[in-house]
Amino acid sequence: MTSFETIDYAIIFAYAIMIMTMGLRFGRSKKGVQKDSKDYFLAGNSLAWWAIGASIIASNISAEQFIGMSGSGFAIGLGIASYEFIAAASLIVVAVFFLPVFLKEKIYTMPQFLELRYGKTVRMMMAFFWLLVFIFINLTSIIYLGALAINKIVGLPIVWSIIGLALFAGIYAVYGGLKAVALTDIVQVIFLIGGGILTTWFALDHFAAGEGPFAGFVKLLSVAPEKFDMILDRSDPNYEYLPGVGVIVGGLWISALYYFGCNQYIIQRALAGKSIREAQLGLVFAGLLKLILPLIVVIPGIVAFALDAPIDKPDEAYPWLMHNFIPSGVKGVAFAALAAAVISSLASMVNSISTIFTMDIYRTIRKGEADERSLVKVGRIVGGLSLFIAVTITPLLSNLEQVFQFIQEFTGFVSPGALAIFVMGFYWKRSEEHGAIAAAIGTFVVSIIMKIWVPEVGFIDRMAYTFLICVVLIVIFGLCFKRNPGARHIEIERRMFETSRLFKLLSLVIVLILVMIYSFFW
């Protein structure tokens, strides 16, 4: 258990009060104005690029990265950072080729787009499916890893850590909606990145016996060179997790494009942008921040490995570092960074769950009879209920060795089919309802068959093969069936994909940095 001093508790208390106050303040309606569904679920389309980018990173980075990815850094090495690097590149693709289509259709949710393109059956099926994944996989894993970290760092029992995290995030997220979540995320991401960098700084400095973090990094390269291979050889025992060149040209793109381009949890921030230009700049800003994150969430795990940390499983690497090597005062900031990551992700996930249920299921069932007040009320009830369900089942994750890998593999059952449905819906006019349903079911069937019968194929490569099979299914059904009369194809125009000079410049910077990283650590 980490020994906090008065200054650490003061920092943590100040952080908690500030975030709660901001969340409730930003979530409050103007006097005499009733909050409607657009305000609650899309922040009234008022988010600027910096708010969008910060909120995406704060929502994306959670204990899954701080604890789970550091654990994979301990077990595998820098190669696990490909999840962050490919994500940075995929955000550019999403900004150019996905976002203009969504904003043109003025949608609230991803299932809403699927109804426009394929019909109500696909919308309802995917809405229920996403709710199940968000509640039983994403929400529970975020809470569990956050609670595990709190337990290892301050000794609070996991059960009380779970309840505390859920209550803290739930209060302002359920009350205030997306605006409260997104605007508090701006502060959360400052804590997240700043506190994370401090943890890495002091860990490397200790490893270099006080000679500074840069000397520590150089020493780390010489002491543990096997942990700095970005592309793993087939003989590497972790090849099944990161299958060589397939990481940068194969299935990891499927995972990243689905997560950042078709996932309500992330893309909802861009849908709430002031304009297409603001939303695109927000995504590329998030891409730039993504390049920094491996320094925060992977390097600490490698340091723990080089220090031969006496831990029972890899996911304990980050708490072990905080316990042993972070000085008083900084411990409070580092803990606030971890808390910011967990709470912002929880709040964002709760908001996305309530948005999908309310706008895709409740409003559809009521067939337009629900007024704005009832939509907001239902959204709040569902947000609270989803947290309650997640809290009751979270302890079941306690037996997993690397929770990050569990999350990625399970998501790999989902992402190929979902991405195929969206991409083909964007750009192939003959895509229709039967093909979308076949892909939604086929992504599970094909993934399970390959996992059982072709276990030597790692799950990243499996995602690529499954995606291609789902595309073929959509094409076959599209050639055999006519489109649902209630659906329509998307009118694509060249001018939709125009971007600003600043967006092009920042995108080029991201690409050049990635080329340098992979060239150096190949």
Specify the residue for token string 């980490």: 2
C-alpha–C-alpha distance, residues 235 and 451, integer Å: 20
Contact (CB, 8 A) for 270 and 101: no
Which residues, 6 or more positions from 91, have their beta carbon under 8 angstroms from its beta carbon?
260, 283, 284, 286, 287, 290
H-run or E-run covering 290? helix 276-297
CA distances 423 to 245, 323, 410, 416, 510, Å, are 24, 46, 21, 11, 24
Domains of the chain: 37-520 (1.20.1730.10)
pLDDT for residue 504: 95
Contact (CB, 8 A) for 425 and 122: no
Q: What is the biggest distance separating any 2 CA atoms in the chain, rounded to whole angstroms?
A: 70
Instruction: Note down pLDDT in tens along the chain; length 522 residues.
Output: 456 778 888 888 888 788 777 777 765 655 555 555 666 566 556 778 888 888 888 777 776 677 778 888 888 888 888 889 999 999 999 999 999 988 888 877 888 888 888 888 888 888 888 888 888 888 888 888 788 777 777 777 888 888 888 887 777 666 666 666 667 777 777 877 887 888 888 889 888 888 888 998 999 988 888 888 888 888 877 777 777 787 888 788 998 999 899 888 788 788 888 889 999 999 999 999 999 989 888 999 899 988 888 887 787 888 888 777 778 777 787 777 777 777 777 777 888 888 888 888 888 787 666 667 787 788 888 888 888 888 888 777 666 555 555 666 677 788 899 999 999 988 888 888 999 999 999 998 999 999 889 888 878 888 899 999 999 999 999 998 887 776 677 777 888 888 999 999 999 999 999 999 988 887
C-alpha–C-alpha distance, residues 481 and 431, integer Å: 9
What DSSP state is assigned to residue 361?
I
Contact (CB, 8 A) for 447 and 397: no
State in Å, rounded, how far the first CA of the chain is from the last one: 38
| Residue 157, token pair as written in the block | 């029992």
Rounded to an integer, what is the distance from CA 324 to the centroid of its chain?
29
pLDDT for residue 173: 66
C-alpha–C-alpha distance, residues 420 and 406, integer Å: 23
Contact (CB, 8 A) for 38 and 44: yes
C-alpha–C-alpha distance, residues 188 and 227, integer Å: 30
pLDDT for residue 329: 76
C-alpha–C-alpha distance, residues 101 and 112, integer Å: 13
Q: How big is the CA angle at 152 (ends 150 and 154), to the nearest 5 degrees?
A: 60
pLDDT for residue 290: 92
C-alpha–C-alpha distance, residues 108 and 268, integer Å: 7
Instruction: Give 47's strand partners.
Output: 273
Contact (CB, 8 A) for 52 and 270: yes
| Residue 99, token pair as written in the block | 């976002």
C-alpha–C-alpha distance, residues 284 and 90, integer Å: 10
Contact (CB, 8 A) for 128 and 361: yes
Contact (CB, 8 A) for 443 and 414: yes
Q: Which is nearest to 309 in space by CA: 203, 230, 225, 237?
A: 203
Q: Which is nearest to 413 in space by CA: 137, 144, 145?
A: 137
CA distances 139 to 165, 382, 402, Å, are 11, 14, 17
| Residue 309, Cβ density class (10 Å: 0-12 exposed, 13-18 middle, ≥19 buried) | middle
